[in-house]
Structure formats: C-alpha cells, structure tokens
Amino acid sequence: MAIKTYRVSMSAGGQTALDKGMVDSFRARLRGTLLTAEDDGYEAARRVWNGMVDKRPALVVRCAGTADVIAAVNFSREHGLLTAIRGGGHNVAGSALVDHGLVIDLSGMRSVHVDPGRRLARVEGGARLGDLDHETQAFGLAAPVGLVSATGVAGLTLHGGMGWLLRKHGLSIDNLSSVEVVTADGQLRKASQSENADLFWAIRGGGGNFGVVTAFEFRLHPVGPQVWMAVPIYPLEQAEDVIAGLRDYMAKAPAELMTLGVFWNAPEAPEVPERYRGMPVVIALGCYSGPFDAGERIIAPLRKLGTPIADLSAPMSWVQAQKFLDQDYPDGAFYYWKSLYLDRLDGEVIRALAKHTRNRPSPISSIDVWMLGKATVGASPSESAFYKRDAPYMLGIEANWHDREKNEANIRWARTLVEEMKPFSRDGIYLNFPGHMENKEATLQAAYGPHLDRLRAIKAKVDPADLFSGLLSNSPQTAVRTGIG
Ligand SMILES: Cc1cc2nc3c(=O)[nH]c(=O)nc-3n(C[C@H](O)[C@H](O)[C@H](O)COP(=O)(O)OP(=O)(O)OC[C@H]3O[C@@H](n4cnc5c(N)ncnc54)[C@H](O)[C@@H]3O)c2cc1C
C-alpha cells in the first residue's frame, strides 16, 4: 500500500503525521537526499558504529551542504520534530540517531581546507579524524584530536577531544578558533571568543545541544611527518611495576609524550610469541610527537618497565600512528564504554584494575588509564563548558564484545568496575565515553559540575523549543535497547 503519511516523533513528546506531499516537497528543496524507511539506503543510514544501536528514524536528511542543514533545521522546527545530529556516527550511545524522529546527517560533508600560512584548518561537520590528518599532514601540520581515524571530528570535539597531542596542546576544543553553527532558528552563526562568545563557550564541551556545527576552524601545529610509537607488551602479572613505572616516568616526561596504560589481551601479531597471544597483558602505549631524533631515547624507559613479552614500538608516520588502533574497533560489534577521572594510581588501584582485567567476560574488552598529567589544565576551567581539568588520570572502561547474548554480562562488568573505582575519584566523567547516557541528571552533574546551570541557560536561549536532542534536552529520547536497566 502506498504511504500517505509519515508518523514522526516530536521533541515535546507524542507524534505528528506528516503527509507525503509535505515530505516530498521538503525532499525537492534539498541538494542532498532524504531517506525514509521505503528508500534504498535507509538501512545503511540507520546504522552507526556501535552494533547495539538499533534505532529507526522516520526521516534521515543526508545534507550536501549548509543550505540543506538550514532547510532541515527549519523543517524540523516548523513541525516540532524530535531531532538528532549525525557527525561521524561513532558516539557509543548512538546519540546520532533518534527513534521515529528526524536525523540531520552530515556524513556527506567531510571536506577539510588547510591554510598552511595561517596554520588553520576549516573542517566540515561530518569529517572524520582521518580526513583531517590526511589534509593537514600534506603541510606537516596536525590538529589535536583522538586516536582512531574513523571517529567523527564533530562529536569528539564537542565534548572535549583527547588524543596523542593532549599533553602538548590540550583538548581539541582548546585548539578551536571558531565554529559555524546553524542554530534552531535556522540562522547560520559564527561563534568565537569575540562573536557569540556565550555560544562558543557552550559548544566547547557542551555537545550537540546548541545547533548543527557545519564547520570547525582549528589552529594547527607542526607534527611529524615521523613520530615514535611505544608499544611494549608486558604480562598482566607485571602490571603493578609497569603502571607504577609509567606513572612515575610520565610525571617528568616531556609534554610531547602522551601515554595510556592499557589493560588488554596480547594481540594476534606475528611479533607476539604464539603462546602469549590472547593472554591478558598490560601495554605502556605511547606516542612521542616531538623532534624525531629524540623520540627513541624518550620512549626507551617505557620499554624497560618490566620484561616485555613483545615490543611493537617503532617509528611511523603521524597518519599511521593515528590509525594504529583502527583495526581493534570494527564497525557493528557491541560496545559499552564508561569513564571516570582518577586522583591516584597506587598499588591498590592497579591491583583492582588487574583483577577486573582477569574477570572480563569478553577478551576484547580493555581498561585504559589515560596519563593526563597537567594536560587539560592548559586552559582555565571557566574558559569553556568543559569543566574537569584537574585530574591526573582518566579511566576509559571499554566493554567490547560480539555476542548479543552477552550484553548483560559485559555491561555489568563495566558498571561494576566504575563503582569500585569511585573511592579513588573525586568527581567527573568524560562525556565522550558516556555509557548509554543512562541516569541523565547524574551524568550531567558529573560531567559539568558548576557549569551546568550556565549551559542550561544558554540552551534555553538558543534552542527555546528544545529541538536538538542532546543530553541537555528534555526530549523523550530512546535509550539504546539493551534489555537491562
Ligand atoms: C573507536 C572510537 C575511538 C575513540 N577514541 C577517542 C579518543 O581517542 N579520544 C576521545 O576524546 N574520544 C574518543 N572516542 C569517543 C568519541 O569522541 C565519541 O564517540 C564521539 O561522540 C564521536 O563523534 P562522532 O561525530 O563520530 O559521533 P556521532 O555519533 O555522529 O555524534 C555524536 C553526537 O555529537 C553531536 N554532533 C555530531 N556531529 C555534530 C555536528 N556537526 N554539529 C552538532 N552536533 C554534532 C550530536 O549530538 C551527536 O549525537 C572514540 C570513539 C570511538 C568509537
């Protein structure tokens, strides 16, 4: 039977019926494409990186440029539709999609333009980290972003952005000079320190609650072309020595060295003796992006923290370093990631992390200790919405698995670990590793602390009808269906 109306969820709750003529005339105004459940490409368009996410938007607007974004925002506002924004589609909670609502999908807007003289890059709102690295490295430059090249620049940046350049150049948001954003009234605005400064403050850490960012302008830094990766792999039994040694070395290491203590399994790599492959290990994973000649010497102590079973440390191009972990995060597997900041990393904490590594229900899950040092303190806490800048370590808890039957065991593992680590944490969570954004109010408090009231006031001003369904919205979002609370 031919479709006559589309039932679409509204941001205020309930549903509205849009007749086919209305939807077709909206489609005709776009340079990009509008997909509904009847269209080829719809199934692919409703998939995101996390295979747990199974949402069915009513309308997906694949924008070809800013004009399409403006048209989509206007259409959504005029009909009061529940609206999500998709950048790289890598948010662990699947927030790029809304069930039965409208998705403003920027995956076709990935251009990056570099001005090498001014060391600036203008990056479209759907670009991936790999797009940015590829373009900037042509000029020996880089922007501080994250560790896996398929991740979207937009989502990563809007909640902070941590990567290999963190200790030297701060968070991704600390390197933003301006953004172009289509706000809920359909206007394209520029926001920077000197223009729409409140909006610029909110966007740097406040997520996709304030409008659709069509372009980010980043300040760039000379990096590479060659950097040193440190990848010594130690048996889990040596975790206490290795992590304590890493902690002590990082307290005095140059800012160009960024590391994570990774509790994981030995990879199926030829360099790893067969008997150790798949065994629980701890890795002093690092990247030194300073003067190349100094790199081998600077990472050397990381390779002697114990007796490695294998050592994959090597020089490589910056672009390769940015892809070093790519294969470990395949599209469509199941993921549940959480975070919390740690104030201490002593024997008690390390032993607890080793214990939870042993009892992971899935061998591909990991625990990452991000050695932040004073990196995030570079900017003052009041400079942007990103609040937590004084913790020396951050814990990234990554439950990764393939079997739907194991949802509950894996999610429980991550949640139990978070609870056990709370005594070692004053406060704060990192919203780029947000679980499934359950317990919304507690999550917001933990992430924004004293900044939450100001964020809410800015949201009420720039998005009075609560169009954009970010964490600050009151809209009835559907959580990821896990079957457990
Ligand atoms: C494999 C992997 C590795 C990761 N590594 C790191 C890392 O090293 N460092 C780190 O800090 N984080 C990391 N993350 C976390 C990552 O930053 C978040 O998952 C982030 O949300 C991904 O952004 P995205 O654009 O791909 O997401 P999407 O799912 O597309 O978007 C997430 C949310 O961002 C908002 N949004 C997206 N695009 C726009 C836009 N153009 N305008 C306005 N709002 C928008 C929307 O609210 C959307 O719901 C990693 C995630 C994955 C999956």
User: How do strand 59-62 and strand 102-105 relate by DSSP bridges?
Assistant: parallel
Atom of ligand 1 minimally distant from the CA of 96: 49
Angstrom distance (rounded) from CA 424 to CA 353: 12
141 touches 220 (CB < 8 A): yes
Quote the radius of gyration of the chain (alpha carbons, Å).
Answer: 22
Angstrom distance (rounded) from CA 14 to CA 438: 21
Q: Which is nearest to 11 in space by CA: 368, 465, 439, 373?
A: 465
Q: Which residues of 74-84 are buried (b: 16+ CB within 10 A; e: fewer)?
A: bbbbebbbbbb
- CB of 76 sitting under 6 A from ligand 1: no
- CB of 87 sitting under 6 A from ligand 1: yes
Atom of ligand 1 minimally distant from the CA of 85: 46
Atom of ligand 1 minimally distant from the CA of 125: 41
- CB of 437 sitting under 6 A from ligand 1: no
- Mean pLDDT taken over the chain: 95
- CB of 385 sitting under 6 A from ligand 1: no
- CB of 106 sitting under 6 A from ligand 1: yes
Which CATH fold would you assign to the domain 112-223?
A: 3.30.465
Q: How far is the CA of 130 from the centre of ligand 1 (A)?
A: 14
- CB of 205 sitting under 6 A from ligand 1: no
User: Class of the 226-441 domain?
Assistant: alpha beta
Q: How far is the CA of 83 from the centre of ligand 1 (A)?
A: 17
Q: How far is the CA of 300 from the centre of ligand 1 (A)?
A: 33
**Residue-by-residue pLDDT tens, the chain, 485 positions:** 677 899 999 999 999 999 999 999 999 999 999 999 999 999 999 999 999 999 999 999 999 999 999 999 999 999 999 999 999 999 999 999 999 999 999 999 999 999 999 999 999 999 999 999 999 999 999 999 999 999 999 999 999 999 999 999 999 999 999 999 999 999 999 999 999 999 999 999 999 999 999 999 999 999 999 999 999 999 999 999 999 999 999 999 999 999 999 999 999 889 999 999 999 999 999 999 999 999 999 999 999 999 999 999 999 999 999 999 999 999 999 999 999 999 999 999 999 999 999 999 999 999 999 999 865 656 777 899 999 988 999 999 999 999 989 999 999 999 999 999 999 999 899 999 999 888 889 999 999 999 999 999 999 999 999 999 888 998 876 555 555 55
Minimum CA distance residue for ligand 1 atom 13:
146
- CB of 435 sitting under 6 A from ligand 1: no
For the domain spanning 5-105, the CATH number is: 3.30.43.10
Judge if 5-105 and 226-441 fold alike in CATH terms.
no
Q: Which residue of 48, 60, 68, 86 sits with most ligand 1 atoms within 8 Å of its CB, as the best mutation to test the pocket?
A: 86
Q: Output DSSP code: residue 237.
A: G
Token pair of 76 as six digits: 């959504």
- CB of 280 sitting under 6 A from ligand 1: no
In the chain, domain spans: 5-105, 112-223, 226-441
- CB of 152 sitting under 6 A from ligand 1: yes
**pTM beyond 0.95:** yes
pLDDT in tens, 30-39: 999 999 999 9
